[in-house]
Amino acid sequence: MLNIQNIRNDFPILSRQINGNPLIYFDNAATSQTPQVVIDAIVTYYSKYNANIHRGVHTLSQEATDAYEHARQDIQTHFNAKHAHEIILTSGTTHSINIVANGFSEFLKKGDEIIVSALEHHSNIVPWQMLCQRTGAILKVIPINLNGELIVEAFNELVSEKTKLVFVNHVSNALGTINPIEHIIKKSHNVNAAVLIDGAQACPHIKPDLQALNADFYVASAHKLCGPTGVGMLYGKEKWLNKLPPYQGGGEMIADVSFEKTTYAGLPHKFEAGTPNICGGIAFGVALNYMNTIGFETIAAYENELLNYATKQLLTIEGLKIYGTSKQKTAVISFNLKEIHPYDVGSILNQLGIAVRTGHHCAQPIMDFFEIPGTVRASFSFYNTKAEIDALVKAVKKAKTMLSI
């Protein structure tokens, strides 16, 4: 059982006021808030042992290196990767996806096929379109139904011997739909296609077991997991990371350099050119450890309770429509009020101290499918409360009254 008040006390920003109202933060799908223990880790790094890593014999460098590599091990443990060197620390999910897309330029030829889903964030669409332009590969799309679910039968028909890569998000950022990734991974592997799972939206709610899932690549961002922005991870199976060429050249990713020839470092350094976000990597590990002390099963159960409560209460508002009604979803509700633009609703909610996201959520194909300009998205975390949801419902009713013609 969660002690919500104790948890809320861990997050200093939740005591803020916005426009004279207590902050109600329902934009967790974009960025979660940061607990004091993570803030303290950042302050401690810069005030106690700020130094470059892997390169110095002096004490500060050694301390920073130890903390950074310990964080990598914490991330490995959390995701149950087989090896720590299968965890590549990046600037975030987008960076991670682009590393893989760039690397596969060497392996694809004209006529090869790549499959993505209609539920993807732009970060899991555009890099593959660019890859197709470079290689002549063909992009295929798994369609969705009116519940915002992937049509699995259509995916089964798309997969063939021509399929080389499959890229699907674990959870839709726009709708909260949990995708059947176990089936997708197994079916793709039956034709020897590699699979990348975008876990950015899943990881705050679900603790994936990467060895059990058997995905070839899995990506995530710390700022969705109570960590800082500007850091994330690319998990790749050792065999694939050894095959892929480096994404960037520079310091750290080399074994030996001369003007005649350069040889590359082993994993994970092969993909970590230049000075990394050292503090961010350390804080990422601290954030995961914080969430694990609460427990992901406990988090998921509580957030599901919030989701069900919010869904029921919001649907009491006449003219409100929810997009994304899959039975398997995380704590995200995308909705619109009839004939009212989502931006206008979001602006009024902000005046009342409620932070939601409005727009297409970097998922324009989903909005085009539903023939809407965007939605109001309320996304919940384990530090939110039913009282905050009651305030949201009251505020949406007020917005409807103010904006109705």
For residue 203, indicate whether it is catalytic: no
d(CA 154, CA 157): 5
Whole-number Å distance between alpha carbons of 147 and 262: 52
Q: What's the CA gap between 199 and 171, in Å, rounded?
A: 7
For 39, 45, 302, 336, the CA distances from 48, given in Å and listed in that order, are: 14, 5, 37, 49
The three-state secondary structure class of 377 is strand
Asked if residues 168 and 144 have their Cβ atoms less than 8 Å apart, the reply is no
The whole-angstrom separation of Cα 378 and Cα 334 is 6
Q: Exposure string (b/e) for 135-174, b if CB count within 10 Å is 16 or more? A: bebebbbbebeeebbbeeeebeebbeeebbbbbbbbbbbb
User: Do residues 11 and 38 make contact, with C-beta atoms less than 8 angstroms apart?
Assistant: no
Q: Cα dist. 265→55, 57, 249, 269 in Å? A: 14, 19, 11, 6
Q: What radius of gyration do the chain's Cα atoms show?
A: 22
> 227 with 38: CB under 8 angstroms?
yes
List, by residue number, the catalytic residues: 362
